[in-house]
Amino acid sequence: MTERTIYDLAWREGQAKPALEIRIDELPDEYQGRWHDPVFAFTKDWVAEKSFGKTATLWQWGGMSVNPIPGAEPGWSEFIIAFGVPETYLHGLARHLVKKFGGKARITEHVTAQTNDGWAAFCHIEEGRVWREIGPHEWKTDGLS
Other beta carbons within 10 angstroms of residue 1's beta carbon come to 8
Asked whether 70 and 98 are in contact (CB, 8 A), the reply is no
Q: Who's near 105: CB < 8 A, 6+ residues apart?
A: 20, 21, 22, 23, 69, 94, 97, 98
| Structural domain that includes position 64 | 2-141
Does residue 145 surpass a pLDDT of 60?
Answer: no
Asked whether 80 and 19 are in contact (CB, 8 A), the reply is yes
Residue 142 has a pLDDT of 67
Residue 136 has a pLDDT of 84
Question: How far from chain centre, in Å, is Cα 61?
Answer: 10
pLDDT (average), residues 136-143: 81
Residue 70 has a pLDDT of 63
**Which residue type sits at 28?**
P
pTM across the whole model: 0.90
Alpha helix (H) ranges present in 51-118?
87-100
Total count of domains within the chain: 1
- What is the tens place of the pLDDT at every residue in 47-93? 999 999 999 999 999 988 877 666 667 789 999 999 999 999 999 99
